[in-house]
Amino acid sequence: MAGNPYHKTAQLAEKNKTPVYGCAFNPFVKWPNAQMLATVNTNFVHVYELPTHQEVIKKRDSAEILLKKADDFWSVAWCQQPSDILGVPITKLVVGGETGRLYVVDYKTMKAGRELQGFRGSCNEIRTNLQCPTLIAVASNDRAVRVFDIRCEAPLLICGGRNVHTDKVMSLDWSPNGAHLVECGYDHKIFLWNFAEPRIVEHLKNATDALDLGEQPPTVDYTDANQEMAEMIWSPKKKALLLTNPEAFAQDVHFDSVDCIRMRIQKDRMYFVSRNCAYQPTVAFWRFGDWDKSKEVVPEAGEPNRSVTQLSRKKMPDVPVPYFMKFDMDADFRWCVVPGARGDILFYSLRDQEGTEPTHTIIVNADQCLIRQVAFCDQSKFFVTVGDNGIICRFDKKPTTAH
């Protein structure tokens, strides 16, 4: 077996050593510029610089978000607002966690401004739509997904309803073109939402056009009584469309809680990697649709596509595996790096569909503190891990695999 493609090159610990649940690289900073990393723990936001010519982690900034009520941040995402008068995009950070309150933090001043509202449970993950970088999607314990424009405190889209999740939503991801959103939950259900539908496109355009002019998005006129009542409960400001009909639905990819999912597009087809936790943990590589397209059952109008092709399934050692541990994949769609149950990270080859075991394992923490998130930088030249011991670790690609 070939050697591990990445090796540990640096680590940095915050003084308080409290658990770090979430991290994210700034996706608007491209290689070979120094990569910028944000992390969150308790009510703090930290920013680090990771140079591309040095294998180090440099602390750049730190800010305590002053809150009216105690909170514990679990997730962070980078966004960009339209250019200022100098033509420079305005970079923002969005953080959220235990209370379900989301805060928009100005990257230049590291001060919280707008608070995003409408949640009835904790925030488990925040992801930015890179095609429209003022839009974020948020997975919540209240069984719904909300899409916000960070310039408006109310959501613009709410994906939910009685026929969707029966438990908390744990993870989500945008398609690279920003047209689809996939999300998964504690009830092991996975849904794919199509935001390219004409009524959704029109609604988002009207909302973002108004925000571009410094105005509030128009309110939504409801014609169906049931939808109007649902909107009064879920979106009292009436800025959101309530979406209840996903494009596709899977319930048998996993049979236990699914706490992380990621999406890639290869040759115009969407592929997914997802992981379930607990006593039979697996990492699945799959797609919607039948293996033989000629045999695929076309769903009736308004019904989701339920056909799934499972391409590969990987085993995870050391059970049970706790939930809330986010993996990541490299840009070449070659490696999936998954947090394990003993302070380790497991490497799975996405190109080996027959293999079921991790190809490599790295012990990150001798004290077996859990790794909570893995995140690759631009072009996947290196990645970082964060975890329960408050330590950030950097892993660089070995020169023999750098090409």
Stretch 317-338: mean pLDDT, rounded?
Answer: 94
Amino acid at 285: F
The pLDDT score that the predictor gives to residue 53 is 96
Q: 369-394: per-residue pLDDT in tens?
A: 999 999 999 999 999 999 999 999 99
Contacts of 275 (CB under 8 A, 6+ apart): 258, 259, 260, 261, 281, 282, 283, 284, 316, 327, 338
Stretch 75-96: mean pLDDT, rounded?
Answer: 91
The pLDDT score that the predictor gives to residue 140 is 96
Q: Is the pLDDT confidence value at 1 over 70?
A: no
For the stretch 172-193, what's the b/e string if a residue is b when 16 or more beta carbons lie within 10 angstroms of its beta carbon?
Answer: bbbbeebbbbbbbbbbbbbbbb
Q: 388-401: per-residue pLDDT in tens?
A: 999 999 999 998 74
Complete domains list, the chain, with CATH: 6-401 (2.130.10.10)
Q: 98-120: per-residue pLDDT in tens?
A: 999 999 999 999 999 999 988 88
- Cα dist from 308 to 19, 32, 151, 290, 302, whole Å: 37, 39, 37, 6, 18
User: What's the pTM value of the predicted model, to 2 decimals?
Assistant: 0.95
The pLDDT score that the predictor gives to residue 127 is 98
Stretch 358-376: mean pLDDT, rounded?
Answer: 94
89, 83 Cβ separation under 8 angstroms: yes
- What does the alpha-carbon distance between residue 309 and residue 288 come to, in Å, rounded to a whole number? 6
Q: 176-208: per-residue pLDDT in tens?
A: 999 999 999 999 999 999 999 999 999 999 999
Q: 135-151: per-residue pLDDT in tens?
A: 999 999 999 999 999 99
Stretch 290-313: mean pLDDT, rounded?
Answer: 82
- Is omega for the bond preceding 32 within 30 degrees of 0, making it cis? yes
Share of the chain above pLDDT 70, in %: 95
CA 111 to chain centre: 23
Least confidently predicted of 87-91, 130-134, 235-239, 329-333: 235-239
Q: Is the pLDDT confidence value at 21 over 80?
A: yes
Q: Is the pLDDT confidence value at 402 over 50?
A: no
Q: Who wins on pLDDT, 371 or 86?
A: 371
